[in-house]
Amino acid sequence: MATYRDAPSRPNRRQFLATAGLAAAAAAGTQELAFPAIVRAQEPIRIGQLIPFTGFLGAIGEYGKQGATLAVEELNEKGGALGRKLELITEDEANPGVAVQKARKLIEKDRVVAIEGLVSSASCLAVGDEVQRAKLLMINAGANSDEIRSKRCHRYVFSTEGCNTQYVNAIGNWLIRERKVSRWYFLTSDYAFGHDLLRVARNLLQANKGTEVGSDLAPTGTTDFSQYITKMKAAKPELIFHNLAGADVTNFLKQYAESGMTIEVAGGVIDSAFAWPVGESLRGHFPIIWWHELNNAASRAWAARYVKRWGRPPDNQAYGDYLAVHAIAQAIEKAKSTDGAKLVQALEGHTLTAAMDGLKGRPLTFRAWDHQLLQPMYVVAARDKAKWKDKWDIFEIIGEVPARGAALEDIAIPKAESQCQLEPLS
């Protein structure tokens, strides 16, 4: 029989902890290469969104957030991208200075693989410079200035939103051809977007030998347009062409109708989020990038999913952010990577896939040399309230521009007139 001295000795507490530590270290040594890879594979792919929730553009922000959120939810239901879930991190772009600060936060702290959204052209230009320095993909889903695609274009910046040239070519040529208006009066928002839109509209009017009979710059956030409307009456134009944005559009169109003005009115750009509040006072013709009643099965199906999720129809900004998230996911799948340079290469000349054709029923492609998405616009007219189905039914579609069968290049910035010089990819 074994004596106590012959029995295996039991380690004391210090020995036990030391032995356990060695065992743990040995186990960790066999796994230290595999474990971080597993963690990375399980981490979500983060997409940053900059969209305004404050200021005169603020009403559009919630639509943009809802559109992007729905895109992320639908993509995640199908497995996300590269087998990883997507995560959306949204920040208020507010103004150019704040937008740059938020962009740095998204890049450095949240470690997003791409940024999408933006509405203010001034903010978009500032953030475009920032993402180029960081070599991070950005998709502009709401800013219109031609500068973003021309003299201040960047290799890491793409645009799903249409540029001012696309919008003005769509509505301006229609007005001249169908309404036979040649004497125009301009009312313009006094910031980067408005100035650029005015330039494009003036060029089109001059090219068609029209006459500018008056022009005013209105500060953003203007609430009383009576002084401008008085000047319009005195000038006796055939057309009032506004280059306004945000809540300024709502206020001007309401006051224009209340003043009893009957002169034809149109705009270079319109967001349905700012047209809906005008209600039965709405009148005129406008170009719009997307409308929830497009006669297109995919478009109607998406609008129905949006209504089911959020309880109201999507506006054109919701569409823009939805499209941008899908473009980022397609780039990730195509590149098999989240590296910025590889995502840029994946999108240059990329045609959105059949599963996501921009909800317009025709192929939409990013031009390789300026990163603008080529796509049609829609000329819409304010609908008589007697024909409304509901309070959202404010527009009727007059036509698609360019028409089916015509080249989408027809309304875009011609390469010969562009000042875009993309940086080398590095």
Contact in structure between 182 and 211 (CB atoms under 8 Å): yes
The residues spanned by each domain of the chain are 41-163+295-375, 165-293+378-408
pLDDT in 10s for each residue of the chain, 426 residues = 333 333 334 444 444 444 444 444 444 444 444 445 544 558 999 999 999 999 989 999 999 999 999 999 999 999 999 999 999 999 999 999 999 999 999 999 999 999 999 999 999 999 999 999 999 999 999 999 999 999 999 999 999 999 999 999 999 999 999 999 999 999 999 998 999 999 999 999 999 999 999 999 999 999 999 999 999 999 999 999 999 999 999 999 999 999 999 999 999 999 999 999 999 999 999 999 999 999 889 999 999 999 999 999 999 999 999 999 999 999 999 999 999 999 999 999 888 876 567 899 999 999 999 999 999 999 999 999 999 999 999 999 999 999 999 999 999 999 999 999 999 997
Q: Which tokens is 200 given?
A: 């494009």
Residue 79 CB: number of other CB atoms within 10 A? 10
Tell whether the torsion through CA atoms of 203, 208, 214 and 220 is positive or negative.
negative
Tell me the one-letter amino acid at 221: G
Considering the entire predicted model, what is its pTM? 0.88
Phi, psi (deg, nearest 5) at residue 400 = -100, 135
Q: For residue range 154-198, what is the model confidence (pLDDT) as tens digits?
A: 999 999 999 999 999 999 999 999 999 999 999 999 998 999 999
User: Are 41-163+295-375 and 165-293+378-408 equal in CATH topology?
Assistant: yes
CATH class for the region spanning 165-293+378-408: alpha beta
Please name the fold of domain 41-163+295-375. Answer: Rossmann fold (3.40.50)
| Cα-based torsion angle of the residue sequence 27, 32, 36, 42 in order, rounded to the nearest 10 degrees | -30
Edge-to-edge strand ranges of the sheet holding 395-401: 211-218, 183-189, 239-243, 264-267, 285-288, 377-382, 395-401
The helix (H) or strand (E) run that includes residue 217 is strand 211-218
* Cβ pair 92, 102 in contact under 8 A: yes
Work out the end-to-end distance of the chain between its first and last CA atoms, rounded to an integer number of angstroms: 78
Q: What is the pLDDT of residue 132?
A: 98
